């Protein structure tokens, strides 16, 4: 068990990003606390708990084929990080496209994600889906 003083937030954020980039829902969930929450602001209400997170994160990979991440900035805090990134995806027969997003992720005293909030501009998301 980690203590607040010895959490390496940069290393936790790196493992978390690697799990997302590998599209491995089990690996993502292994980094979440049991009662962790997720909310994609502007799209869905908050979901809580690993079962709900599993369903939501699985849908992300279905909704965004060939899901990818382009990192712009990673800002580290005491028990949180903020990630400024672009979500990229490639629909069948179409060019890769994406939209900018901002994640605010908090970890508990064990270094497990207790909340993940994703913010995005819905107009950018809509434009990405409508692009030729």
Q: And the tokens for 51?
A: 């079962």
DSSP 8: -
Instruction: Give the per-residue pLDDT at 43.
Output: 78
pLDDT per residue as tens, the chain (132 positions): 444 557 999 999 999 999 999 999 999 999 999 999 999 998 778 999 999 999 999 999 999 999 999 999 999 999 999 999 999 999 999 999 999 999 999 999 999 999 999 999 989 999 998 986
CA nearest to 89, candidates 70, 106, 108, 114: 70
Cβ-based neighbour number of residue 31 at 10 Å = 19
Instruction: Give the per-residue pLDDT at 3.
Output: 47
pTM recorded for the entire structure:
0.91
Q: Following DSSP, what letter does each residue of 75-121 receive, concatenated?
A: EE-SSEEEEEEEEEE--TTS--EEEEEEEEEEE-TTS-EEEEEEEE-
Mapping DSSP to helix (H, G, I), strand (E, B) and coil, where does residue 58 land? helix
Cα separation of the two ends of the chain: 50
Q: And the tokens for 39?
A: 């909310």
Residue with tokens 């069948």: 92
């Amino acid at each position: 068990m980690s203590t607040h003083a010895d959490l390496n937030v940069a290393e936790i954020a790196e493992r978390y990003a690697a799990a997302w980039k590998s599209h491995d829902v089990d690996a993502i969930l292994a980094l979440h606390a049991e009662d962790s929450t997720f909310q994609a602001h502007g799209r869905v209400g908050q979901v809580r708990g690993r079962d709900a997170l599993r369903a939501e994160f699985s849908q992300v990979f279905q909704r965004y084929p060939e899901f990818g991440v382009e990192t712009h900035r990673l800002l580290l805090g005491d028990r949180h990080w903020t990630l400024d990134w672009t979500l990229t995806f490639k629909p069948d027969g179409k060019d890769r496209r994406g939209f900018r997003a901002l994640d605010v992720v908090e970890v508990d005293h064990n270094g497990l994600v207790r909340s993940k909030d994703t913010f995005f501009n819905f107009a950018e998301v809509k434009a990405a889906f409508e692009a030729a």
